[in-house]
Structure formats: structure tokens, C-alpha cells
Amino acid sequence: MASAAATGQGIAAPVRPAAHWLKWAIIGVIGLVNLYAVTLMYIQGETIFALVTLILVATGLYVFAAPGAYVHRYIFPGVATMFIFIVFPLAYTIWIAFTNYSATNILTFERARAYQLSQSFQIADQSFDFALYGAGTNTYRLALTAADGERFLSPPVELRVPGAGPQPPASTAAIEVDLLPATAPPAAEPLPIKDLVRLRGVLQEVRAHLPNHTDLRMSGLRQFSAIRPLYQVLPSAQGGDGLILVNQQTKERIAPDMRSGFYRALTPEGEFTGPGIAPGFSVFVGWKNFLRVLTDPGVQGPFLQIFGWTLTFSLLSVIFTLAIGMVLAALVQWESLAGRGLYRLLLILPYAVPAFISILVFRGLFNQNFGEINVLLSQLFGIKPAWFNDPTLARTMLLIVNTWLGYPYMMILCMGLLKAIPSDLYEAAAMDGSNFIRDFFSITVPLLMKPLTPLLIASFAFNFNNFVLVQLLTEGRPDIIGAQTPAGTTDLLVTYTYRIAFEGSGQDYGLASAIATLIFIMVGVLALINIKIMRVDRPT
Amino acid sequence: MAMVQAKSIIYRKLAAHAFLWAWLALIIFPLLMVIAISFRTGNFAVGDIIPSHPTLDHWRLALGMSIVDESGRTIPPPFPVLLWLWNSIKVASVSAVLIVALSTTCAYAFARLRFGGRSLLLKAMLVFQMFPAVLALVAYYALFSRISDYFPPLGLNTHPGLIFAYLGGIALHVWTIKGYFETIDKSLEESATLDGASPWQAFRLILLPLSVPILAVVFILAFITAITEYPVASILLQDESKLTLAVGSQYYLNPQEYKWGDFAAAAVLSGFPITLVFLLAQRWLVGGLTAGGVKG
């Protein structure tokens, strides 16, 4: 680093040749390894990831190799990680919003195609009688006899029952065996059927190859049959474009439907027909996911309801925490009050306890049957509110818990800002006969509001996306009835997208990303407003 | 006049004390409850707030010891709480150290060196840190499953992978440290450069030793952020033995297997050290907090 630094400064420092060569060797190795990985990714159809890796590695190598980019060596690692984990996920989420990426359409087209081409089927009329002969410990020879009496024999093959004996378990990959023509069966007795039963598991992994390149697979305890790839690419002589595959069993033609993301059967006229053939692959679907959010009643209804609740929740959270925090800050900053340090410490306590623990504590305390809050309420008033099953109560509970969690932050902010209010303002007010309540509302509040505004917007944005609270306290429950996607009455937009993406059977990443993109836009607008307000504030 | 005013001040003080104590009773009640529950027999509320038959069973289970119940059955600890706590501490400390290293070098360049795109990058960092990672969880999952395909030690279900993911959140720390660097007089470094020191030497030997306080603040902030982080860890980690505390704790309150008492002991045991760290450090943290947004 020191020698490289000197070069960057243009000071002629002696560069040790060994270090020099080492540097270039390391750069070369990293470059080659990554070039290999990028090529691999590109072949698999992961174009986006290949591109991102290529850009990052190339930039990194340039920054650390070129003397002219010396300054950028300081920022590259940090900026690169921010790029990978903030900018790229943002951009990639927006990209997914325009695709049908989901549990059913999870592969790339290249992988779905490779999967179809790896399928095989057995040809029943090309079967061989099969016998197994011992050839040493765990080693056997396969003997096959065709219907016309032609015999084939394999060289000794190792066949291990997985997990048996001290040997490591056999791998699950296919065992390739080449068969050779033979004139007579081996002299020894074939293994009895109980050994075949014992070895059945491994034998099913055997792929035997005849000299004429026919592939055989076990089709019964005493039988091997020929297998063929189920799909073959339609040759261009017959009008194939490299995409159409022919089912060798039924002669049906299938082709990838780039609109639905599935292989589908083709009519003789070349039209798609029938349902999609799994596995699906992800394709670009345009604005479809956004249109679903805005127009599909099963999605739009819950979306609007959740959006409304998200706004209400964030706004009320800010108002409650601010009101309580400001009053407490004013009290604690009152100089003639004894024990202010202790109050301050105890009041901050909810902020100091990790949120994931306190939220779970409230989840237990609010439990309808076993929770201490209901035990108290039923002893005092004889009521047992259903905190988790009634939408209004569940929302009230969320707000209570969030106020508990959030007021110390507002208190800390206000305490810092209160110190900046000159005390002669209060003295002047006292001369005019003001009391402390009027002081609070006509001096303290107006003077605090201006510097607080950007922080309140940030707090609003934070609560808008308060994932941990909802996920750990109610998990969005109680559910909205009639929703097409998993949705709850206490869900915020973020937990709603999480549920669409990771819960239930649908796992619709495309739809989840479309909603996430809409949230990005709202958060972005808030961020811009915030920066504008801060800039207005700065000159004063 | 003065007498009347003094009297009204006394009333006001009394009212303020009464209000504060009432409020504190309400606020601290849940925390005291959890401590009481952790000593109470069984996993269900029985009607009394202060345990009548205190027991250490929940604490034994939380500390990883098996207990024997009345019918003579041995009950093993339900979850490896201490392992989870250790995982959390490990992930949080390593990521905090790396975050300090990354953001310090970045901040140095932004504060002292001149290069193209400097102010653009600084502004972009401020805007992008507003977008929470939880909105891009699908992308995170896809990203890490790709990394798993090509380089498993940094992929899904690994601690290095999680640490790697946490390194993205350095923007605010870069701003904090940059602000601190700008308050340090440049002349020391300039005279060192005149004596032949490279920028790296000026940074490493002069600026860094002067900045230890801010580095400590950033370390603690990054540590607390990582230890309380839930969404990304819940997506990336899968094995029970790999979970962090934030992800694992929720399994106690599964409706099918409700372990309220065991949870209480585990929560007090693991929450106490983290709370203590925060309270001890809060004097230094308050400044950083007011400068940088909301606790996550």
C-alpha cells in the first residue's frame, strides 16, 4: 500500500520488483477467476448477475491497479458494498416488478430448457433380462440378455448400499456402466433375488450403455429397459427454430410461451394450446403486476385498505410519540425539578431495550387468555378484550406498543433542541403574566416544530415501513376476508409485500416487488421533501 | 408576591413528580412483569402478579440446563438461547468492525481528498439510506441464492453472508465520521506530507489516532443496529443453530407451543446486556442519534 501510495502521489519511490510482480499476479488471478464465474453465470442465463459481477470486479481491479485512481481506493470498498446492498437490490426489485418471477416461475429460461432436455422416458419393448454376478466385496458384474438371445456383460462395478458398513455413503449421481458383448453367461451362479432387493436403490442409479449407444435403466427387479431423452430439439430441416422441442413419446411439439413463462404444446398451425408444462421460467410481463394492484378487485381492495391503515398508523404514531416526548422533555429539562438525571434514565429505558425483545414481551402480555394485561383487566373490570382477533383492538394495541417504543426517541430529540431556546424568552413571557401552560404552547412548541420537521418526516417514513413491530406483534392478523393474496387488517404495506413474497403457497415475487416499487416512490418523495426542507433551513 | 409564587412552584413540582412517577409506573410495568414471569412456575398466567412459588426452572432452561419436572421427566432446553446470543454478538461485532473500517476510509477520502463525483456520491448516499432493506428482501434473497451457487461460504444460511449484507448500511456513518474529520485541523497532516508522508500514512498515523472517540460511537451504533436487525437475518438464516437472537426469540411464542415463562427468562438474560451497553453508551450516542434519523 505504501509503495502504491507513493506512485499515486507522483513521487518517484523505488518499487520493489517482487512486490510489483506479486501485485500483478494477484490481480491476474482475481481477474481470471471472476471471468470464469461471469461466463458461467452468463451461460446459465443470469445475465443481470453476470453484468453486475463484471462491472464490480473490473472497477475494483482498475481502482487498485491504476496509479491514477489512487484516491478512489479509499472509497471503492465502501461504495461497492453500498452499491451491492442498497442500489442493486433497489434496481433489481423494480426489475422483478415487471416479471412474473414467483414460486411457479422461478427458473431462468435456460435452466427450464435444460430441465426439459434432461427428462427421459423408458421404452418398454426394448427390454433385457437382467442378472447380477458377484465379483468381490461390493463389486458386481451386470449381465443382460436381449429377447433374441444376444448377451452383454459389464466389467466389475462397485455398488454400495448407501449408509451400510463403514464406507462413506455412495453419492447419488448416476453410475455409468459400459456393457460389452458376451457369448456366454459367467460361470458363477447369479445373485439370488433377495440381494437384488437389497441393492435395488443403487441399481436404480445405474445407467448402462450398450455398444450401439442405447442407454438402459432398471425397469424391474429382473429387467433393464432402454431409455431415451423425452424431448429433442426439432431439427431446422423440419422447420425448427432451435426453440421447439419434440416429445419423443407422443411426437407432440412444445415451445416456450414467452408471455406465460411456460413450455406449452403447439397445434399443427403453430398456435399455443393447453396448459403450461412445469417448471415455469420468469419472463418480462410489462405493467401486468402494477395493473393487478390497481384494478384486480382481489388485490386492489386489500391494497387500498392496507395503504389507508399504513398512513393512519404512521401519522398517529408520530403524533402520539411527539406529544408525549415533548411534554416529558419539557418536564425533565425543568431545572428546579429534583432527580432529573434518574427520571431521564428511566424514561429512556423503553428505547434501550432491544425492540425485538420488548415487542415479543407485549405479544405475551396482551395474549387473550394467558396474558397478564387481560388477567388484570378481568380482575378489575371483568373484561377480556380479544386484542389479537378484533381488528380495532389489534390496531389500538399496535399504536400503544409503538408509542411505548417510540416516545423516548422524540424525548431525546426535544431535550437536545430545548437547550437551544434562550431562557430570556420565558422570562419576558413571565413579565407579561404568562403561566407555564401558555409558555409551553406559545413558546416551546412553535420553536421546536421548525427544527423537528425533517426529523418528523424521517420518523413518519420509518413508521410507514415499521416491519419488525407488525411482524413480531400481530403478523398482520386478523386476516382480511376475501383477499386474493394473504393480507391482514393490521398489515402495513411492507409486511403485506413480505407476506405475498414469502408466505403462503403463491410466493408471488413479481407482485410483491410491484408493491415495493410503489413504496419506493412514496419513500423517495418523502426523502426529497426532507432534503428540500433541510436546505431551506441551512442558511438561517 | 414572591411567597405566592414560591408556593405555586411547590405545587407544580409536586404535580410534576406525581405525573412522572405515574407515567414511569405505566412504562416500566411490562419490564418488571417479564422479570416476575421469569421466576413464576409454569408457562401460563395464574392470576397473581408477584410469583407465589418462585422457581428457577425457566432460568435453568435459558442457561442451557435440563430440568426434571414433577412426574420425573427430563425436559431439555427448548431453544439454544446462549448460542443465539453468541451468534448475535459474533455477527454484530465483526460487522461493526468492518463497518468502522469501510466508513472511515470512505470518510477520509470525502473529507480530505478531491476527486470527481465527490458531492454527487455524498448526496446519493443520503437519499439511498432512506430506503429500508426490508423493501428489497426478494432481491436480497435472490442475490444471496446466486452467491450460494457460486461461492457457498458467503451465501444463504451463513454468518459471513449476513455480515456481508450488513456492510451496505454505512452511508450515515460515513457522514458522521466525515463531519468529525472536518473538525480536525488539517495542518498536522499537511506538515507530515511535507516531511514525505504518503496520504495513507497521514491518515493512518495522524488522523486515525485523533478520531478514536467518533470511531467508538460508530462502532457501538453499528453493533446495536446489527444485533437488533430482524428482517434480513430472518430471510438469510435457516438452521436453528445459525439463528441470531432477534430471529430465534419469536419461536418461544408459537401459539401451538406457548413458552411464555421460558421466553421471559431468555428475554431478561439476553436483553439485559444489550440494554446495559445502550444505557452506558447513551450519553455519547444521543448526539449521533439526533444527527442521523431513527433507530431501526
Contact call for residues A117 and A231 (beta carbons, < 8 A): yes
Q: Please check whether residue A67 touches B, CB under 8 A.
A: no
| A–B CB contacts, 8 A cutoff, strictly below | 273
The pLDDT of residue A400 is 95
Inter-chain CB proximity A79 and B106 less than 8 Å: yes
Residues 85-144 of chain A whose Cβ lies under 8 A from any Cβ of chain B: 85-90, 92-93, 96, 101
Least confident of A414-428, A484-498, B79-93, B150-164: A414-428
Q: Is the pLDDT of residue A540 over 60?
A: no
Least confident of A53-67, A483-497, B48-62, B207-221: B48-62
The pLDDT of residue A537 is 54
If DSSP codes are grouped into helix, strand and coil, which group holds residue A166? Answer: coil
Q: How far is A398 from chain B (nearest CA, A)?
A: 15
* Cell numbers placing A186: 459367467
Nearest-by-Cβ selection for A354 from B9, B134, B227: B227
The pLDDT of residue A316 is 96
A290 vs B51: which has the higher pLDDT: A290
Q: Please check whether residue B22 touches A, CB under 8 A.
A: no
pLDDT digits (tens, 9 = 90+) for A299-317: 888 889 999 999 999 999 9
Chain A nearest-CA residue for B165? A85
Contact call for residues A95 and A284 (beta carbons, < 8 A): no
Q: DSSP class of residue B134?
A: G
Contact call for residues A224 and A128 (beta carbons, < 8 A): yes
pTM: 0.80
Q: Judge residue B60's burial from the number of C-beta atoms within 10 Å of its C-beta, 0-12 exposed, 13-18 middle, 19 or more buried.
A: middle
- Annotate A373-390 with b (16+ C-beta within 10 A) or e (fewer): bbbbeeeeeeeebebbee
Q: Is the pLDDT of residue B282 over 80?
A: no
Per-residue pLDDT, averaged over A505-522, amounts to 87
Inter-chain CB proximity B16 and A334 less than 8 Å: yes
The pLDDT of residue A242 is 77
Number of H helices, E strands in chain B: 14, 4
Per-residue pLDDT, averaged over B225-249, amounts to 90
Confidence band of A335 (pLDDT split at 50, 70, 90): confident
- Annotate B214-238 with b (16+ C-beta within 10 A) or e (fewer): bbebbbbbbbbbbbbbbbbbbbbbe
The pLDDT of residue A313 is 95
Inter-chain CB proximity B131 and A86 less than 8 Å: yes
Q: Is the pLDDT of residue B159 over 90?
A: yes
Nearest to A71 by CA among A124, A130, A9: A9
Beta bridge partners of A227: A122, A215
If DSSP codes are grouped into helix, strand and coil, which group holds residue B94? Answer: helix
Q: Please check whether residue B272 touches A, CB under 8 A.
A: no
Quote the percentage of chain B above a pLDDT of 70: 90
Per-residue pLDDT, averaged over A286-304, amounts to 87
Q: Distance of CA A33 to CAs A65, A177, A213, B145, B208, Å? A: 17, 34, 37, 19, 35
pLDDT digits (tens, 9 = 90+) for A144-157: 888 787 888 888 88
pLDDT digits (tens, 9 = 90+) for A381-414: 888 888 888 999 999 999 999 999 999 989 988 8
Angle subtended by helix axes B212-227 and B81-112, to nearest 10: 140
Chain B nearest-CA residue for A88? B139
Q: Is the pLDDT of residue A163 over 60?
A: no
Summary mean pLDDT of chain A = 83
The pLDDT of residue B3 is 46
> A356 CB contacts (<8 Å, ≥6 apart)?
A468, A472, B228, B230, B245, B246, B249, B250
Per-residue pLDDT, averaged over B199-206, amounts to 85
The pLDDT of residue A538 is 52
Q: How far is B76 from chain A (nearest CA, A)?
A: 22
> Which residues from A are below 8 Å from B274, CB to CB?
353-354
d(CA B216, CA B226): 15
Please state whether the peptide bond connecting residue A279 to the residue before it is cis, i.e. omega within 30 degrees of 0: yes
Nearest-by-Cβ selection for B267 from A6, A360, A436: A360
d(CA A252, CA A244): 10
Inter-chain CB proximity A364 and B231 less than 8 Å: no
Q: Please check whether residue A54 touches B, CB under 8 A.
A: no
d(CA A263, CA A254): 6
Nearest-by-Cβ selection for A361 from B34, B131, B246: B34
Q: Is the pLDDT of residue A44 over 80?
A: no
The pLDDT of residue B133 is 84
The pLDDT of residue A8 is 41
The pLDDT of residue B5 is 56
Q: Is the pLDDT of residue B294 over 70?
A: no
The pLDDT of residue A517 is 92
Q: Is the pLDDT of residue A359 over 90?
A: yes
Q: Please check whether residue B125 touches A, CB under 8 A.
A: yes
Per-residue pLDDT, averaged over B187-198, amounts to 85
Q: Please check whether residue B181 touches A, CB under 8 A.
A: no
- Residue to substitute from A361, A400, A435, interface B, most B β-carbons within 10 A: A361
Q: Please check whether residue A367 touches B, CB under 8 A.
A: yes
Q: DSSP class of residue B42?
A: S
Residues 376-405 of chain A whose Cβ lies under 8 A from any Cβ of chain B: 376, 379, 404
Per-residue pLDDT, averaged over B87-107, amounts to 93
Confidence band of A514 (pLDDT split at 50, 70, 90): very high
Main-chain phi, psi angles of A456, to 5 degrees: -70, -40
> Which residues from B are below 8 Å from A520, CB to CB?
131, 135
The pLDDT of residue A5 is 41
d(CA B82, CA B63): 7
Nearest to B189 by CA among B178, B200, B180: B200
- Residue to substitute from A86, A457, A517, interface B, most B β-carbons within 10 A: A86
Contact call for residues A401 and A469 (beta carbons, < 8 A): yes
> Which residues from B are below 8 Å from A351, CB to CB?
278, 295
Please state whether the peptide bond connecting residue A478 to the residue before it is cis, i.e. omega within 30 degrees of 0: yes
Q: Please check whether residue B16 touches A, CB under 8 A.
A: yes
Per-residue pLDDT, averaged over B104-113, amounts to 89
Chain A nearest-CA residue for B141? A89
User: For residue B288, how many other CB atoms are within 10 A of its CB?
Assistant: 17
Q: Please check whether residue B44 touches A, CB under 8 A.
A: yes
Residues 77-106 of chain B whose Cβ lies under 8 A from any Cβ of chain A: 102-103, 105-106
Confidence band of B62 (pLDDT split at 50, 70, 90): confident
Q: Is the pLDDT of residue A323 over 90?
A: yes
A528 vs B28: which has the higher pLDDT: B28
pLDDT digits (tens, 9 = 90+) for B12-34: 888 889 999 999 999 998 898 88
Q: How far is B128 from chain A (nearest CA, A)?
A: 7
pLDDT digits (tens, 9 = 90+) for A164-202: 444 444 445 677 888 888 877 777 788 888 888 888 878
HSE (side-chain half, CA atoms, 13 Å) at B275: 20
Confidence band of B104 (pLDDT split at 50, 70, 90): very high
d(CA B145, CA A338): 57
Contact call for residues B154 and B161 (beta carbons, < 8 A): yes
User: For residue A391, how many other CB atoms are within 10 A of its CB?
Assistant: 15
d(CA B90, CA B82): 12
> B130 CB contacts (<8 Å, ≥6 apart)?
A458, A461, A523, A524, A526, A527, A530
Per-residue pLDDT, averaged over A225-253, amounts to 81
Q: Distance of CA A532 to CAs A311, A314, A535, Å? A: 22, 21, 5
Confidence band of B293 (pLDDT split at 50, 70, 90): very low
* Cell numbers placing A234: 426439432
